[in-house]
């Protein structure tokens, strides 16, 4: 038998869950100051060690296989990372992988990439600035997961990649969402901050920039807040053109937060629910030339007004939520743009100092050797004679050191010179380097001790990156104050007659069309359940068999003749399978009450305002499902109802006896006491005679027995 040990939950979380949470935060989801997550860094470093910075591409499968030596994950996860870093996928403004083959598209949900065995990759040119000084002790190296290899803790990237490419990540208890900025603007801003820490960021860093383009709706207050705090959101809208000859809208750029399929799905959904009646057809025409969504318009439709409507109803305009959370010194921090650049500059300055220190050591070592070579220049013959007259090989170095006053490194260097190089020309050429080395060493020592020189080196590299890889903005900037709201289409008010059938069809018919004898077209075995007068400006609330209520603007319904079937509500309102409408009501100001009767003899009086959906189209728990619904009605004031049961009991009561509720799924109050096996059968409004015979003043009551035909006729037959 096992031993059961009682431990506090806090201890279990600390010992089991906390290490996992920290691993996700520090080693997986949150980017570091170099702009890379560990998975990105491991993959790119593997490609660098494979020699893929120059030369031909190799199969992606080779890269994936080699990366598994550093990244303890499956090949699918590694290949997904490779795809997102590639030029072909178009996820990044400045892609790090030069790709060949089908890598899918970031703006398409369904366009899958080809398998790793079919695609080819190598490092893109910009990777030169991520790896050029990695072998000069610029960053720390650490063991891989099985301690068989070394890998860099960070990459000494020579530009603020953390801002130049987008980064999204969800960790445990925190997330990161960093939008991308134009590389040239980032470099210019970084240079400006080096010169003046109080530089106004908005002068050089205009706004984010995305690989998918689009138009950023710019508000200085919004972006000042994002730049200062690292948090906030802004809107990005699609770019479109109007082809007048075809009466067609062509969308060619979309926000980075959505996909072509998501946009089309939303448009189709609103075409079905009647919100986008202006559209005749929508389709995806994306091809090798790039993204394209075609929207065919019906005749006489204003394209600008329709696009404004689409921006509101679909992801053609979407929000990008910023959360500039990154790791600085293994500590997650949410920073503003200024703080991010300053943190990157501190990191970059450390890299430059370490590189200068490394080069200084290398130059000092080389100068030491050349000084030894210069010493033997005084008497080359003596050096040859010393080596020739030394009997033991082990004594060559000590004898050279003794004869010429060399240190061991110098003596070994002299001893390794080939016989053909023992001439004055070779030795003079070599010793000429001493002067250049002295000057370079002097400069390096000065630079190491001078903040200004370090800043100059960083600035030179930033200008080089900007000049070589900077590109014009892809995302346009639209000033929020310059955007004009289109004139709202005026919806006319006129009386209409609404018909709802048992099978779920609804018709909106003009009163004038109902004069005289009317023959309604209905499906076989269908019948009209409800008919009522409404205003074209009113809201229609549709209650269904699953206790859902849907809101539908009466103006969204098409006017039809009685001879038409009408519109099918389950399809128009995207109801679930088997869900059918059971009651419809019209309201403008949501006044009055809803009366609901249940088989168990209970009645509920719910204020109509409880169903007022300001921005929603659907509301759940419209009524209680504890007992089957028998009757539903809308009243403007308290009313008398006659109620009958299956066992021929009946009574009349006034709804004033019911407490009005705002809880939609209230169980209600008991009105009729039911005997065992009995249940409520029918409810309808009572007339004066019925009121006189069967009125009750208190509830609940057992009701009166229907003991004669006259009473039965007065009740519910």
Tell me the two tokens of residue 385.
Answer: 């004679």
- Looking at residues 35-53, what average pLDDT do you find? 96
Helix axes 380-388, 396-404, angle to 10 degrees: 150
More confident residue, 282 or 691: 282
Question: How would residue 20 be classed by pLDDT, with cut points 50, 70 and 90?
Answer: confident
Q: What CA–CA distance (Å, rounded) separates 618 from 212?
A: 33
pTM score: 0.77
- What backbone torsions phi and psi does residue 128 show, to the nearest 5 degrees? -55, -35
- 345-469 matches 239-315 in CATH topology: no
Q: Where are the beta strands (DSSP E) in 67-155?
A: 97-100, 120-123, 141-143, 150-152
Which of 449, 443, 377 shows the shortest CA–CA distance to 414? 377
Q: What distance in Å separates the CA atoms of residue 559 and residue 701, rounded to the nearest whole number?
A: 47
pLDDT at 19: 84
Those residues whose C-beta lies under 8 Å from the C-beta of residue 46, and which sit 6 or more positions away, are 63, 66, 67, 69, 70
pLDDT at site 571? 85
- Cβ atoms of 253 and 290 within 8 Å: the answer is no
pLDDT at 716 over 80: no
Average pLDDT over residues 506-534: 85
Whether the predicted pLDDT of 712 surpasses 50: no
Percent of the chain's residues with pLDDT above 70:
97
Instruction: Classify residue 587 by its DSSP letter.
Output: E
Output 325 or 578, whichever has higher pLDDT: 325
Residues 597-613 have a mean pLDDT of 92
pLDDT, tens only, 485-503 = 766 667 788 899 999 999 9
* Average pLDDT across the chain, whole number: 90
Residue 709 scores a pLDDT above 50: no
The confidence score (pLDDT) of residue 2 equals 66
Given 118, 145, 240, 242, which residue is catalytic? 118
Rounded alpha-carbon distances, angstroms, from residue 330 to 27, 153, 166, 179, 393: 9, 11, 20, 21, 53
Distance in angstroms (rounded) separating the CA atoms of residues 162 and 187: 12
What's the pLDDT at 488? 65
For 289-294, what is the mean pLDDT?
A: 94
Q: Is pLDDT above 90 for 349?
A: yes
Secondary structure letter of residue 475 according to DSSP: S
- Tens digit of each residue's pLDDT (9 = 90 or more) over 113-134: 999 999 999 999 999 999 999 9
Q: Where are the alpha helices (DSSP H) in 116-182?
A: 128-131, 161-164
> Which residues touch 392 (CB under 8 Å, ≥6 apart)?
none
Contact indicator for 206, 195 with CB cutoff of 8 Å: no
Residue 115 Ramachandran class (φ > 0 left, ψ -120 to 50 alpha, else beta): beta
pLDDT, average across residues 531-549: 92
Q: What's the pLDDT at 581?
A: 92
Determine the CATH number of domain 345-469: 1.10.268.10
Half-sphere exposure of 417 (CA within 13 A, CB side): 26
Q: What letter would DSSP give residue 448?
A: H
Question: In whole angstroms, what is the distance from residue 416 CA to residue 410 CA?
Answer: 10
Highest mean pLDDT among 22-36, 200-214, 563-577, 656-670: 200-214
Task: Please state the separation of Cα 507 from the chain's center in Å.
Answer: 41
Q: SS in 3 state form for 17-83?
A: HHHHHHHHHHHHHCCECCCCCHHHHHHHHHHHHCCCCCCCCEEHHHHHHHHCCCCCCCHHHHHHHHH
What pLDDT is attached to residue 717? 46
The string of pLDDT tens digits covering residues 201-211 is 999 999 999 99
Q: Does domain 36-156 have CATH number 1.10.390.10?
A: no
Q: Give 629's pLDDT tier (boundaries 50, 70, 90).
A: very high
**129 included as an active-site residue:** no
pLDDT of residue 12: 79
pLDDT at 714 > cutoff 80: no
Q: Judge whether residue 509 has pLDDT over 60.
A: yes
Which range is least confidently modeled, 238-247, 587-596, 703-712? Answer: 703-712
| pLDDT for the residue numbered 578 | 84
pLDDT score of 169 more than 70: yes
Pairwise CA distance, residues 39 & 45, whole Å: 10
pLDDT at 421 > cutoff 80: no
Domain ranges of the chain: 36-156, 239-315, 345-469
SS3 content of the chain, % helix, strand, coil (to 5): 35, 25, 40
Q: Which CATH number is correct for 239-315, 3.90.550.10, 1.20.140.10, 3.30.470.20, 3.30.1360.40?
A: 3.30.1360.40
Cis preceding-peptide flag for 700 (omega within 30 of 0)? yes
Give dist(CA 355, CA 359) in Å, integer: 6
């Amino acid at each position: 038998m096992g031993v059961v040990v009682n431990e506090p939950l806090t201890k279990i979380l600390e010992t089991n869950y906390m290490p996992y949470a920290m691993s996700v935060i520090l080693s997986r989801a949150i980017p570091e100051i170099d702009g890379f997550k560990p998975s990105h860094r491991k993959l790119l470093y593997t490609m660098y060690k494979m020699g893929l910075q120059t030369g031909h591409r190799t199969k992606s499968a080779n890269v994936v296989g080699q990366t598994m030596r550093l990244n303890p994950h499956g090949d699918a996860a590694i290949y997904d990372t490779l795809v997102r870093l590639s030029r072909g996928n178009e996820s990044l403004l400045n892609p790090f992988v030069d790709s060949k083959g089908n890598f899918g598209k970031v703006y398409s949900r369904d366009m899958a990439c080809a398998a790793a065995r079919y695609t080819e990759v190598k490092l893109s040119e910009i990777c030169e600035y991520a790896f050029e000084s990695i072998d000069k002790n610029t960053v720390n190296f650490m063991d891989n997961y099985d301690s068989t290899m070394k890998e860099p803790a960070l990459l000494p990237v020579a530009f603020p990649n953390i801002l130049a490419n987008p980064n999204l990540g969800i960790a445990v208890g925190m997330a990161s969402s960093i939008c991308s900025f134009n590389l040239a603007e980032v470099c210019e801003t970084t240079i400006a901050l080096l010169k003046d820490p109080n530089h106004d960021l908005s002068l050089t860093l205009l706004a984010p920039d995305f690989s998918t383009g689009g138009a950023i709706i710019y508000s200085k207050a919004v972006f000042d807040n994002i730049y200062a705090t690292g948090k906030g959101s802004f809107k990005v809208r699609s770019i479109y053109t109007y082809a007048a000859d075809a009466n067609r809208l062509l969308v060619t750029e979309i926000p980075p937060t959505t996909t072509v399929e998501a946009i089309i799905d939303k448009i189709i959904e609103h075409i079905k629910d009647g919100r986008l009646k202006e559209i005749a057809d929508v389709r995806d025409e994306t091809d090798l030339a790039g993204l394209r969504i075609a929207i065919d318009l019906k005749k006489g439709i204003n394209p600008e007004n329709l696009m404004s409507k689409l921006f509101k109803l679909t992801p053609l305009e979407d929000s990008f939520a910023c959360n500039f959370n990154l790791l600085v010194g293994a500590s997650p921090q949410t920073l503003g743009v200024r703080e991010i650049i300053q943190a990157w500059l501190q990191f970059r300055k450390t890299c430059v100092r370490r590189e200068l220190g490394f080069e200084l050591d290398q130059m000092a070592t080389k100068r030491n050797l050349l000084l030894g070579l210069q010493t033997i220049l005084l008497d080359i013959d003596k050096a040859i004679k010393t080596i020739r007259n030394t009997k033991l090989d082990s004594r060559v170095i000590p004898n050279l050191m003794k004869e010429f006053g060399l240190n061991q490194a110098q003596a070994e260097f002299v001893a390794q010179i080939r016989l053909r190089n023992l001439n004055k020309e070779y030795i003079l050429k070599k010793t000429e380097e001493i002067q250049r080395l002295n000057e370079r060493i002097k400069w390096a020592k000065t630079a190491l001790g001078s903040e200004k020189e370090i800043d100059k080196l960083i600035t030179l590299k930033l200008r080089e990156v900007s000049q070589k890889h900077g590109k014009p903005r892809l995302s346009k900037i639209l000033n929020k104050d310059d955007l004009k709201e289109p004139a709202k289409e005026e919806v006319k008010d006129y009386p209409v007659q609404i018909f709802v059938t048992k099978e779920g069809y609804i018709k909106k018919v003009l009163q004038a069309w109902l004069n005289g004898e009317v023959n309604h077209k209905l499906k076989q075995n269908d019948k009209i359940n409800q008919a009522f007068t409404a205003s074209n400006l009113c809201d229609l609330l549709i209650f269904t068999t699953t206790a859902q209520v849907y809101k539908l603007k009466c103006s969204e319904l098409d006017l039809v003749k009685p001879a038409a079937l009408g519109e099918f509500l389950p399809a128009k309102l995207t109801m679930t399978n088997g869900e059918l409408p059971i009651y419809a009501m019209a309201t403008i100001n949501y006044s009055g009450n809803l009366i609901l009767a249940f088989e168990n003899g209970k009645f509920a009086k719910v204020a109509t305002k409880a169903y007022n959906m300001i921005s929603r189209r659907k509301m759940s728990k419209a009524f209680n499902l504890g007992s089957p619904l028998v009757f539903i009605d809308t009243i403007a004031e308290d009313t008398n109802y006659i109620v009958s049961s299956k066992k021929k009991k009946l009574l009349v009561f006034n709804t004033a006896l019911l407490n009005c509720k705002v809880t939609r799924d209230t169980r209600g109050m008991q009105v009729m006491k039911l005997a065992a096996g009995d249940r409520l059968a029918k409810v309808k409004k009572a007339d004066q005679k019925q009121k006189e015979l069967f009125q009750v003043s208190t509830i609940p009551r057992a009701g009166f027995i229907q003991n004669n035909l006259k009473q039965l006729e007065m009740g519910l037959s």
